Chains A and B, each alone.
Chain A
Amino acid sequence: MKATLRGEKELQKELERRLGKRKMLNITDTALIAGGEKIASIIENDMYSAKGRGTGKSARATSVSKPEWLGKTRMVKIHWNDGSGRFRIIHLNEYGHFDKAGKWVNPTSKGVIENAMRKGRETYFATVKSELAKRV
């Protein structure tokens, strides 16, 4: 089955003509930040529940970046670099690792971040959509 979407570019041009480029960017940025924060809060909650005997510092370090360009795509990043240095060990808890003796460590929080992303995917798109609908 094949579906063709027509008029997408024309719609974007018309919106740009009516609102202006700067206003458009402003609208997308607010929508992206709102969506990113929703996802970040889901991730933070899930990480906190899966912290095991940890302190929950990694969970609290979850933060959303400012909107930035990647090529022609506007995006927000979720990162853990809040100045506490926890970003250095996030990947170890997310994927598992060997300890010094060679034993594999399977943390309780293995895969939690990506599972939270999967869970929040639809919420993210819904949030972005509703934020856009509010302002356009």
Chain B
Amino acid sequence: MEDITMKIYEAITGNSEIMQYVDKNNIKFFDYPNANEITDTVIVIDPLDTPTPSDYADNDNMTFEYFYQIDVFVKQKPGINGRVLSDKLVFLLQRIMWIELGYNETGGINPEYIKDFNLYHQAKRFEGKEYIGGI
């Protein structure tokens, strides 16, 4: 069994372009930080489903389907254009998920600006298949 959450984390941290903007400690699993404590850019990887068996052959499933939500929070502060940065991060995420992992996007929320906390928030959902024991 592969640790897909870790695989996504490593794919993100392996991308030098995205790491220019995000600190390694600010990429989190499951744990959403308090909005008041977000001072930088935060990415949260959240699995939404346990692996679902699919593609049966010989009375056994060949693949598992995975389903993830990735949230991007960007704090608006002097010197940073949060709107542009969050768009860019989401774009990079989409590229990483598709090119490196082959996960396609299934949806997302309207990009929002949370005025109370000066935060830009976008979320994307990705779905992908992994073969048992590789291809």
A binds B: yes
- Distance (whole angstroms) from the CB of A43 to the closest CB of chain B: 14
Q: Which of B105-133 contact A (CB under 8 A)?
A: 106-107, 109-110, 114, 116-117, 123, 125, 127
Contact flag A104-B106 (CB < 8 Å), given A111-B69, A114-B48, A114-B125: no
A79 at the interface (CB under 8 A from B): no
- Determine the distance from Cα of A95 to Cα of B106 in the docked complex, in whole angstroms: 13
Q: How far is the CA of A115 from the CA of B71 in the complex (A)?
A: 18
- Asked if B102 lies at the interface with its beta carbon under 8 angstroms from chain A, I say no
Q: Is A53 an interface residue (CB 8 A)?
A: no
Interface size class of B (residues with CB under 8 A): 20 to 34
When distances are taken between beta carbons in the complex, the residues of chain A under 8 Å from B107 are 114
The distance in angstroms between the C-alpha atoms of A123 and B123, with both chains bound, is: 28
Contact of B109 among A91, A98, A104 (CB under 8 A): A91
Measured between beta carbons, the chain B residues less than 8 angstroms from A95 are: 69, 109, 123
Which residues of A are interface residues toward B (Cβ below 8 A)?
91, 95-96, 98, 100, 102-104, 106, 110-111, 114-115, 118
